[in-house]
Amino acid sequence: MSIADKVAVRLRVNGEDMAVMVLPYKTLLEVLREDLGLTGTKHGCELGECSTCGVLVDGKPYLSCLAMPLDLEGRDIVTVEGMARGSDPHPLQVAFAELGAAQCGYCTPAMLLTAMALLDRNPNPSRQAIKDALSGVLCRCTGYVKIFEAVELAASRGAAGG
Amino acid sequence: MADDLTIIGKSLTKPDAYAKVSGQTKFADDLAPPRMVYGRILRSPHPHARILSVDTSRARALPGVLAVITGDDLPVKFGILPVSQDEEALAREKVRYVGDPIAAVAATDEWIADEALELIEVQVKTLPAFMSIPDAIAGGNEPIHGQSNVHKAVALEFGDTEEAIQAAAYSREDLVFFEGNTHLPMEQHAAVAQYGADGKLTLWTSSQTPHYVHRALGKVLELPMSRIRVIATPNGGGFGGKSDIFSHELVAAKLAIVTGRPVKITLTREEVFYAHRGRHPVLMKVRTGFSKEGRITGMQFQSFLDGGGYGSYGVATTYYTGALQATTYAIPRYRFEGVRLFTNKPPCGPKRGHGTPQPRFALEIHLDKAAEALGLDPVEIRRRNLVRPDSRTVNWLRITSCGLDDCINKVVEGSRFLERRRAMPSGRGLGFAVSSYLTGAGTAIYWNDMPHSEVQLKLDRNGGVALLCGAIDIGQGSDHILAAIVAEVLGVELEDIQLTTADTDLTPIDLGSYSSRVTFMAGNAAKAAAESVRQRLLQSAAMALHCDPEDLVARGRRIFRRTRPEDGLSVAQAVQLVEAEQGVVTGTGSYTPPRLAGPYKGSGVGPSPAYSYSAAVVEVDCDPRTGEVRVPEVWIAHDIGRAINPVLVEGQVEGSVYMALGEALMEEQSFRLGLHKFPSLLEYKSPTALEAPVMHTYLVETIDREGPFGAKEAGQGPLLPVIPAVANAVYNALGVRIDEIPITPDKVLKALHDKGKRVGPKSVPAFGFPPLIKSDVPEEWRGK
Ligand code: FES
Ligand code: FES
């Protein structure tokens, strides 16, 4: 492989329109982390197997390790950095912090975004609906219990649309 | 005193929580110093081969490649244990497992680095591989290391076990196998190295043991440790998997020195499976004598460990498979024989419970079978053999606090185990087991007289506290423990504490986040440091308030008189008084565990200043047509000593239960034709949110007299009883014994069709253990 040329891509990330020069073979995960400095998005496999790299595209969970930025021009991308309003954390973030739902914190960005997409769709989800929604995101630390409880706590505080 | 606590015992939000939920926590792979380049490692595709030549010339010529190194660039051997210095950063003469590192590249981007790896030409002579315990024992061909595949063999006896078992009213022998599995932290290992123009090397690494990485870097790079700075980044999960010294850490450092550029190496998920150091596969034989009443008269335990290609922690693991049998049960006479074999697989090491989940699994199903034969219920046989608080086991382990009895009562009552187990609906079953675990190893890896944990504090004029400690948070909450203890003692709030952790240039030593030692040891050091500062604050405050320091209380950022709370000053004012008089207000504290080793060789593994205790009841739902086992509900009780933060302790307990269920039902690191069968997150099955059971968690507090505020551990112990409880529940549900982990559907179906209604090992290989080292037994066991 020779040193490749960069191409210009227009992305909308966390409500901000930007034009970025990226290597055309880089995934959205790599562009977010390496070119845009948004290292809140993590990775566990880069093969579409763990959802650690999950972001939201037009409000739906999306695996950034399998996505190519060029395909996402004009779409609305949200990362964990886009959850807070100014310095006020999103109610899901507060609930995760309070209940110890982030142990190592590595799966947390994707868990939070996936939960946010769920609450936007279903503001008062049942335990089973939470399990179903989060089932693709692996967590090795928590046993998931505190995560379910945090989503329920945030829902009870009216997190949807928050 | 307990009622006086304002921070300890409260479910407060931990100090690093908001950084984690906002994505601001910087993990190792998130770091990217200016001019950084990328390193990649070429790994062996052969399980066992002699390296004839490594030609890097074509790789070097590729544009964008800055350096290519081989084993000859890093010839000094290393290993985590002083007795096992058998690893090379890049293999020079031989490769010993698929994934063994051979060469490495630094390039301007990862794609170029990968391409360069393909241009490295390695000539090898492949050798027959040893892929199992019997293979390794049988030997023949060229051994993996030295003259034989036996890495370590031990044989200890405490009292005459043969006589005790022969004379017993009932005795039985069981053979059990525990397949290996791996930690699978969600964060892949990563390290970034930078070599400054001043000749100083800095390594940021996702490590549980920065102190040992520091030592190894000094040794392998042949640099004085004072020129090396190791900073552990918050670990995105560890579970023991980041507590060794890894090739990529040494290689990144070397590449940074060679190129003069910062170098990052992040392992791919597949490489993490090869880095491993996970659960040893262990084949076990346990033989025990019982009195008519079900009291244990003596026990013989044998373990065969499949160690993989290198030593790692294996010598310690070998001892651990025999160490903790007697911390739950009063065993009057005990024999342990263990052997660890080298095999051509990724090296095994410590995973949550380090060497003790395997024997615990064997022991707890063995006791269940004995109970049935003796006409006792599974709870009663344990109760009749329970170890007592403040006692010494026959293998000389000192027991202090022990809440096992309470733990048993909690889960048995909570699940209504005794009433329900005889009348479960079809396919349903309940299983029970107990366990105990260390609260930190009583002896350090490098034997010396220095403390195992140290903490330094510096108070500022506004009442803020800088807390420095070598401990690293791996998700277990160690940052909170340190901050909470110091805040409690000094009477300030959690947010007044500023933490600097795990930076070998700045922080005093903590040996690492392994063996469940941090709360107890670093916690005690933090408490001692805070108490030394507090004493000076109270003295100055007492002078200002014209009272006795003994009358003063520090709480809510104030120091005031117990009897007249309005009479007081702020902590900040007290700091200013001390500073005016004595200069910078600092304090240090250290913790060294008491000397606990028994009077025999090998007694260094097993002693701990305190043991935690757990009991579990697991409910299973089995489908006899498919062999599938589901776990709808778990009851778990854990003797934590004292919960410094209950919500964090619960999290550790729940995470342990989760990990145990993965090991019990699906996780396995196994091999075919020398290759890992499942080196990806898709193929290596682990439980998802859908498999999460309802968990009932009970925290039992025994207030250990040596723990900080009475605390013990929670990170590892609660995993232990769950695995055997699953196996015992499957027996209760289906009447089949799966004496082998994981309990996969194929095994359940096989057992249902088996005449003996069992799946498990049928024999252990013939092996000549060394002559028994016969140890004296402690006073209380003499003549029993
Ligand atoms: S990193 Fe695992 S799915 Fe994207
Ligand atoms: S909190 Fe560590 S992986 Fe989920």
Best of A141, A145, A151 for a ligand 2 pocket test (most atoms within 8 Å of beta carbon): A141
| The residue type at B90 | L
CA distance B499 to B480: 10
Span from the CA of B137 to the centroid of ligand 2 (angstroms): 39
Residue A32 CB–ligand 1 contact under 6 Å: no
- Interface A:B, Cβ pairs < 8 A: 179
The contacts of residue A11 (CB under 8 Å, 6+ apart) are A17, A18, A19, A20, A31, A69, A72, A73, A77
| Residue from the list A46, A106, A134 with its beta carbon closest to the beta carbon of B27 | A106
Nearest CA in chain A to B15: A97
Are A146 and B651 a contacting pair at CB < 8 A? yes
Homologous superfamily in CATH for domain B31-127+186-237+242-275: Aldehyde oxidase/xanthine dehydrogenase, a/b hammerhead (3.90.1170.50)
* Contact status of B169 with chain A (Cβ, < 8 Å): no
CA distance B538 to B545: 10
Give the pLDDT confidence score for residue B458 in this predicted structure.
98
Nearest-CA distance B236 → chain A (Å): 5
Are A47 and B680 a contacting pair at CB < 8 A? yes
* Contact status of B355 with chain A (Cβ, < 8 Å): no
The contacts of residue B382 (CB under 8 Å, 6+ apart) are B328, B329, B367, B408, B432, B434
Q: What is the CATH number of domain B2-24+450-591?
A: 3.30.365.10
| Residue from the list B22, B63, B651 with its beta carbon closest to the beta carbon of A89 | B22
CA distance B13 to B525: 22
3-class DSSP assignment, residue B477:
coil
Best probe of the A interface among B14, B16, B18, B20, by most A CBs < 10 A, is B20
How does strand B611-623 pair with strand B398-399? unpaired
Find chain A residues with C-beta within 8 A of B269's C-beta: 44-47, 49
Give B218: exposed, middle or buried? Use CB within 10 Å, 0-12, 13-18, 19+.
middle
| Residue spans per domain, chain B | 2-24+450-591, 31-127+186-237+242-275, 155-181+278-442+598-775
Give the pLDDT confidence score for residue B4 in this predicted structure.
85
* Contact status of B495 with chain A (Cβ, < 8 Å): no
Are B186 and A132 a contacting pair at CB < 8 A? no
Nearest-CA distance B680 → chain A (Å): 8
Angle among Cα B755, B756, B762 to the nearest 5 degrees reads 120
Residue A42 CB–ligand 1 contact under 6 Å: no
Nearest CA in chain B to A105: B20
Are B689 and A131 a contacting pair at CB < 8 A? yes
Model confidence pLDDT, tens digit, residues A1-22? 445 789 999 999 999 999 999 9
pLDDT band (50, 70, 90) for residue A161: low
pLDDT profile of chain B (784 residues), mean per 10: 80 98 98 98 98 98 98 98 97 98 97 97 98 96 96 98 98 98 98 98 98 98 98 98 98 98 98 98 98 98 98 98 97 98 98 98 98 98 98 97 98 98 96 98 91 98 97 97 98 98 98 96 98 98 97 97 96 98 97 93 93 98 98 98 98 98 97 94 96 98 98 98 98 98 98 98 97 94 85
Give the pLDDT confidence score for residue B213 in this predicted structure.
98
Give the pLDDT confidence score for residue A159 in this predicted structure.
80
Angle among Cα B602, B607, B611 to the nearest 5 degrees reads 150
CA distance A35 to B32: 11
Are A140 and B184 a contacting pair at CB < 8 A? yes
Do A20 and A31 meet the contact criterion of CB atoms below 8 Å apart?
yes
Best probe of the A interface among B22, B644, B695, by most A CBs < 10 A, is B22
Shared fold status for B2-24+450-591 and B31-127+186-237+242-275: no
| Residue from the list B21, B186, B477 with its beta carbon closest to the beta carbon of A140 | B186
Q: Scan for tokens 């496999």, then name that residue.
A: A45
Do A62 and A56 meet the contact criterion of CB atoms below 8 Å apart?
yes
The contacts of residue B92 (CB under 8 Å, 6+ apart) are B51, B70, B71, B72, B75
User: H or E element: which one contains B202?
Assistant: strand B201-205
CA dist A125 to A132, A139, B694, Å? 10, 20, 17
For B770, the token pair is 């060394």
ipTM score above 0.90: yes
Do A49 and B680 meet the contact criterion of CB atoms below 8 Å apart?
yes
Q: Scan for tokens 């969970």, then name that residue.
A: A61
For B272, the token pair is 């993490």
For B550, the token pair is 């003994």
For B225, the token pair is 């440790």
Model confidence pLDDT, tens digit, residues A18-32? 999 999 999 999 999
CA distance B174 to B171: 10
Give B222: exposed, middle or buried? Use CB within 10 Å, 0-12, 13-18, 19+.
exposed
Give B567: exposed, middle or buried? Use CB within 10 Å, 0-12, 13-18, 19+.
middle
* Contact status of B474 with chain A (Cβ, < 8 Å): yes
Q: Whose CA is nearest to atom 3 of ligand 1?
A: A48
> Among 3.20.20.70, 1.10.10.60, 3.40.50.300, 3.30.365.10, what is the CATH number of B155-181+278-442+598-775?
3.30.365.10
Give the pLDDT confidence score for residue B2 in this predicted structure.
42
Nearest-CA distance A73 → chain B (Å): 24
pTM recorded for the entire structure? 0.97
Which atom of ligand 1 sits closest to the CA of residue A64?
A: 4
Span from the CA of A13 to the centroid of ligand 1 (angstroms): 19
Nearest CA in chain A to B27: A106
All domains of chain A in start order, with CATH: 7-82 (3.10.20.30), 91-156 (1.10.150.120)
Q: Which ligand is nearest to the CA of A145?
A: 2
Nearest CA in chain A to B716: A141
